[in-house]
Amino acid sequence: MNFSVLTIFPEMVDPFLGYGIIRRAIEQKKISVSSVNIRDFAKGRHRVTDDKPYGGGCGMVMKPEPLSAAITHTQKNTPDSHTILLTPQGRPFTQDLAHDLSTLPGLILVCGRYEGTDERICHSLIDSEISIGDYVLTGGELAAMVIVDAVTRLIPGILGGEDSAEKESFENGLLEHAHFTRPQMFEGDEVPEVLLSGNHKEIDLWRLESSLMRTLLKRPELLEEKPLSRQEKEILKKWGRQIETLIHV
Ligand code: ADE
């Protein structure tokens, strides 16, 4: 997978590439990440990339010409890539969308700055718009890195354990179960006994219950969207009965 990050601050991208799984993925040539400086495509002595908005108002708008030249140049170099504009008005970025993007040969991530991007860029050169959340950042760079990170770890062969990506939060509509490691006792708090039992059926059941409980308590809206298995329904009914008893004593 080839990522191209189009930005007026390419220095922001490089430090992010030097650590952990992303660094390893680059070393193993599973991904490549190149930053393209939009300013290099701006004309004139001052290489200006922004201008005042037509119609007045505060803030500046990204000029179309340098952005268009930078995107066209990058699209020519990586013709199969999908071009994404990072903007708070885009489609919400989710684990499902990360999966879809991880199957593509390349992503061109266009980072907006200032108040916005000239609308004509979106009409002609952008395949999709993505937002990483309902808040406004000062630019799309952090959003681009979030996408590089979340997509990279889904590319086959990137994560260590065969199934580490399948069993984690959001992959089956639930948050992931609780985790424990040594020591067995930490500040008076003990690891659940079943996890030491070696009984994998019991451990799987405990993990499913832990997943369901965390989702119910922390992100109950996820359960409304998820088709529940018979086993999951049984667990929830059992808790329902236990809660009923508590209420009526
Ligand atoms: N640029 C500014 N805010 C953003 C957001 N929430 N998501 C993606 N790009 C952005």
Answer yes or no: do 72 and 191 share one domain. Answer: no
Residues with CB under 6 A from ligand 1: 86-88, 112, 131-133, 135-137, 140, 143
Answer yes or no: do 42 and 147 share one domain. Answer: yes
Answer yes or no: do 101 and 43 share one domain. Answer: yes
Prior bond of 183 cis (ω within 30°): yes
Query: Mean of the pLDDT values across residues 71-77?
Result: 98
For ligand 1, the distance from its centroid to the CA atom of residue 124, given in whole angstroms, is 20
- How much is the pLDDT for 66? 97
Confidence of residue 47 (pLDDT cuts 50, 70, 90): very high
| Tokens describing residue 180 | 């424990």
- How much is the pLDDT for 166? 75
pTM listed for this prediction: 0.94
pLDDT digit string (tens) for 182-221?
999 999 999 999 999 999 999 999 999 999 999 999 999 9
Whether pLDDT at 111 is above 70: yes
Query: Mean of the pLDDT values across residues 112-134?
Result: 94
Answer yes or no: do 236 and 148 share one domain. Answer: no
* Dist. CA 64–CA 119, nearest whole Å: 8
Could you tell me if residue 20 is left (phi over 0), alpha (psi between -120 and 50 degrees) or otherwise beta? left
138 CA closest ligand 1 atom index: 2
Domains: count for the chain: 2
Whether pLDDT at 150 is above 80: yes
- How much is the pLDDT for 249? 76
Confidence of residue 171 (pLDDT cuts 50, 70, 90): confident
Domain carrying residue 189: 185-247
Whether pLDDT at 154 is above 90: yes
| Tokens describing residue 21 | 């799984």
- From the number of C-beta atoms within 10 Å of its C-beta (0-12, 13-18, 19+), residue 181 rates as exposed
Whether pLDDT at 162 is above 60: no
For ligand 1, the distance from its centroid to the CA atom of residue 192, given in whole angstroms, is 41
CATH number of residue 141's parent domain: 3.40.1280.10
Q: How far is CA 192 from CA 135, 183, 198, 213, 237, in A?
A: 39, 12, 12, 15, 23
